[in-house]
Amino acid sequence: MTTATAADYSWIRSPSSLFKFAMEVGYTLTLVQGVSPEKLYALAGAEASGRCHGFDELVECHWELLDEFDHWPDAFLTGTLTLPSPAGTWTLALEFGGGLGTRDSFMEPLSYGTRAVSHSSNGGKPMDFFHWYENGLLRTTFEWPGDRTGTTPDDLNQRMREVGLNPSGDQNPDVDRKAAVLALTERLTGVRLTEELLRQAEYITAVVPEEQIKGSGSLVVLP
C-alpha cells in the first residue's frame, strides 16, 4: 500500500514537534476506515459538541476540560477529522490522556466490517501500544514488537521488518520504535500523517466518558 519506514516519521522527535507534547502527556491516536466522526462518537457514548481549529487549540480545549474537574477527570476530549487515502476515507481520532483506541468494547464494534488501527502512549513511564482490529477482531497487538498477541499475531511480521521493527526479538537501537509504529500504521491505512496536517486540521470534538467496569461503583481508567 505504501513504502513508509521509521525514517518518514523522524519529525516526531524534533524539539519543537507537536507530537513530542503528545508523547509527554500521553495520547491515543486511532484510524478507522469508512466510519464517520458522528458514528465513532456514538459508539464511544459521546456526541460531537464543538470544533477546534488546529492542534494548538485542541490542546487548549483539552486543558480547559481538565480544569473543570476537582480530582481525577471522568471524561476526556477527543478530536476527530476525516482523511483520504488510496484505500478510501478514514476518520482519525486523537486524545490526550484518554484511551479510546485501547478499549476492546469500543474497537470491536468500531471495526465491524472494516479496519481500525491505533497506537498510544501513557506518557511518563512510558508504555506504548499498537492495536490492529479487523471486522471486530483484534488481529495483532503489542507493546514490544517481539511479544505480540491477537488472533493473527504474526500476520504483520513482514511489514514490521520493512518499517524497521524486529518481530523476532531485540530491536535495532538505530531505529526509532515509535516512528516505526507510525510507519506501520501508514502501511495498514494508506494515511500519511505529517506535522503540518495535524497542526492545521480542524478537529470535530466531543467529551468522551471514561470507561467503567460493569458492576462497580468506582471509576476505573483502563489502559
What pLDDT digit, counting tens, does each position of 46-95 carry?
999 899 999 999 999 999 988 888 777 788 999 999 998 887 899 999 99
Domain that residue 181 falls in: 6-209
At 217, is the pLDDT very low, low, confident or very high (cuts 50, 70, 90)?
A: very low
177 inside domain = yes
Q: Which DSSP state fits 6?
A: G
Q: Is the pLDDT of residue 179 over 80?
A: yes
The distance between the two most distant Cα atoms of the chain, rounded to a whole number of Å, is 48
220, part of any domain: no
- Looking at the domain assignment, is residue 219 inside a domain? no
Check whether the bond before 126 is cis (ω within 30° of 0): yes
Residues 95-116 have a mean pLDDT of 95
Looking at per-residue pLDDT, the higher value among 2 and 37 belongs to 37
Q: What is the DSSP letter of 24?
A: H
Percent of the chain with pLDDT over 70: 94
Evaluate whether residue 214 is within a structural domain.
no
Asked if 76 and 208 count as a contact pair (C-beta separation under 8 A), the reply is: yes
C-alpha cell at 126: 512510558
Check residue 97 and give its pLDDT: 85
Number of domains in the chain: 1
**Closest C-alpha among 24, 71, 61, 67 to residue 219:** 71
d(C-alpha 12, C-alpha 6), whole Å = 10
Q: Is 217 part of a structural domain of the chain?
A: no
23-45: average pLDDT: 96
Whether residue 213 has pLDDT greater than 70:
no
Cβ–Cβ under 8 Å, residues 120 and 129: yes
Q: Are 52 and 203 a contacting pair, CB within 8 Å?
A: yes
Q: Is residue 218 part of a domain?
A: no
| Mean pLDDT over each residue of the chain, to the nearest integer | 91
Does the residue 182 lie in any domain?
Answer: yes
**34 in Cβ contact with 98 (< 8 Å):** no
Q: Is the pLDDT of residue 15 over 80?
A: yes
